[in-house]
Amino acid sequence: MKFYTNFFHTFEPMKLSKFLFLLLFVLSASVTFAQSSTELKRKKEAIQREIELLQRNLNKTANSKKLTLGQINALNKKISLMQDKITVINSEIKNLDNQIHENTNTVINLKGQLGQLKKEYGAMIRFAQRNKNAYDKMMFIFAAKDFNQAYKRIKYLQQFGQYRKKQAGYIQGTQKELNYKIVILDKNLKEKSNLLHEQENEKDKLGKNKNQQSAVLNKYSKQEKKFRQDIASRKKQQAQLDRSIRAAIVREIELERRRAEAAAKAAAAKAAAAAAAAAAKAKAENRPAPATPAPAAKPKANSSGYLAATPEAARLSAAFESNRGSLPWPVATGSITESFGKHKEGQASYDNAGVTIQTAEGASVRAVFNGKVSKVGNALGRYYVLIKHGQFFTVYQNLRSVSVSAGDDVSTKQNIGTVASSGDIPELQFQIYRGAVAQNPAAWIAK
């Protein structure tokens, strides 16, 4: 009987809450790692798709003796993307190192928990073996001071048996979780080994591409004069085209200004006629003439606000602006090889009013937002499309063919034409204007 009493007072089982907390921590850490790992893999795959696209374009020019700006831009962007990919791989390795550290600690903790559970379970088994005599159990109950204590001792004996079963369950669960974590840890280590191997391969590829870049630069130094002349000629033509596009936008603003002023004059004339009629009626009825309404404010001259003068245009402008940073790309796949703003190649400098996107040959060009086609033009044997979105305009240059006409309404991602090639490399020149002011398209399209 004293054995039951001593065990009842001294045995301290493992708290269920402690086990559940450990299990919850393990699961939450695994979910966080999985999310981060998935994001990094997605980013790495996107970079690799861009690299492959640029490589396909470079392969087309491999045998060309003439060096083009598109080739240099493609090679420079490819090297930049390869460096980005190595950075992502480094992040993956760092992420895995953290997970390996966490899983190693979890395995150690689980082994400790399992040892403690087995120790406690063994103590219960030995205790039960020594006190399995039914007479001792009955004596333990009958030795109670009163009925209430006797009832509690009966419940204790019942609970003791139930707890043994639970403890056995805890041992099985902990052993299962331990085995699972050991498998995950082995997987982490193999994945890290694969990433290190991939990292070495990418560094080797990067070195080869840098050698190729040096060869191109050497080729450029030999053809520098001709290359600079080509750039100057191309950028002069591009500047002329950009000026004509801005002129078209300015004409559109002027047209809207005239419409707004005509509408304001018509409204003022209508209001004046109504006021005169009201005054005549008041005079005939021998009443004071009503107050003359104040004239409507004239819209400001040369303001792109004219483009959003109507409620429909204002809503379209607001919708376009609210999608800043999330507009779809004008092509399904592509890589920005020349950014917005000023650039310099050797002694040649020029300004890019948009972004140059290298894409796949014959790629479909898409409208990035709902709008109306303002103009379809032709320059140097290539087409361009100007689409109006309230007070915003998008421009799609270097098209081989077009599938829309001026005045057409277009919807987001609607096909408007196909891209042409510049020096065997398919490139799209994409621009965004707010009124007649050029914007950086990279800040508007989705990352």
Residue 262 included in any domain: no
Domain shared by 202 and 64, yes or no:
yes
pLDDT for the residue numbered 433? 94
Give the residue from 309, 297, 314 showing the smallest Cα distance to 257.
Answer: 309
- Report field, pTM of the whole predicted structure over 0.75: no
- Rounded CA separation 366/418 (Å): 9
Residue 306 included in any domain: no
Domain shared by 151 and 10, yes or no:
yes
State how far the alpha carbon of 186 is from the alpha carbons of 95, 112, 139, 300, 356, in Å.
Answer: 15, 20, 55, 70, 46
Domain shared by 218 and 341, yes or no:
no
Cβ atoms of residues 185 and 110 within 8 Å? no
Q: Which residues contact 257 (CB under 8 A, 6 or more apart)?
A: 299, 301, 302, 303, 306
Residue 303 included in any domain: no
Domain-terminating residue out of 160, 187, 222? 222
pLDDT for the residue numbered 226? 64
State how far the alpha carbon of 96 is from the alpha carbons of 93, 110, 193, 194, 301, in Å.
Answer: 5, 20, 10, 11, 61
Domain-terminating residue out of 176, 206, 222? 222
Residue 258 included in any domain: no
Domain count of the chain? 2
pLDDT for the residue numbered 418? 96
> What are 268-277's pLDDT values in tens digits?
777 767 767 7
Residue 297 included in any domain: no
pLDDT for the residue numbered 138? 57
Residue 313 included in any domain: no
- Rounded CA separation 13/121 (Å): 9
Q: What letter does residue 353 receive in the DSSP assignment?
A: S
The alpha carbons of the chain give a radius of gyration, in whole angstroms, of 39
Domain shared by 218 and 350, yes or no:
no
Q: What letter does residue 294 receive in the DSSP assignment?
A: P
Give the residue from 327, 354, 337, 371 showing the smallest Cα distance to 433.
Answer: 354
Residue 154 included in any domain: yes
- Rounded CA separation 213/208 (Å): 9
pLDDT for the residue numbered 369? 96
Q: Domain containing 193: what range?
A: 2-222
- Rounded CA separation 254/251 (Å): 5
Domain shared by 194 and 339, yes or no:
no
Domain-terminating residue out of 204, 222, 240? 222
Residue-level pLDDT, tens digit, the chain, 447 residues = 444 454 444 444 444 455 455 555 555 555 555 558 888 888 888 888 888 888 888 887 766 666 677 888 888 888 888 898 898 888 888 887 887 777 777 777 767 776 776 776 666 666 666 555 554 555 555 566 676 776 676 666 556 556 566 666 666 766 777 677 777 777 878 878 887 888 888 888 888 888 777 777 676 666 666 666 666 777 778 888 888 888 888 888 888 878 777 776 776 777 767 767 776 776 677 777 666 666 555 555 445 667 777 788 889 999 999 999 999 999 999 999 999 988 776 666 778 899 999 999 889 999 999 999 999 999 878 899 999 999 999 999 999 999 999 999 999 999 999 999 876 789 999 999 998 899 999 999 998
Residue 361, domain CATH = 2.70.70.10
In one-letter notation, the amino acid at residue 358 is Q
pLDDT for the residue numbered 301? 47
Residue 257 included in any domain: no
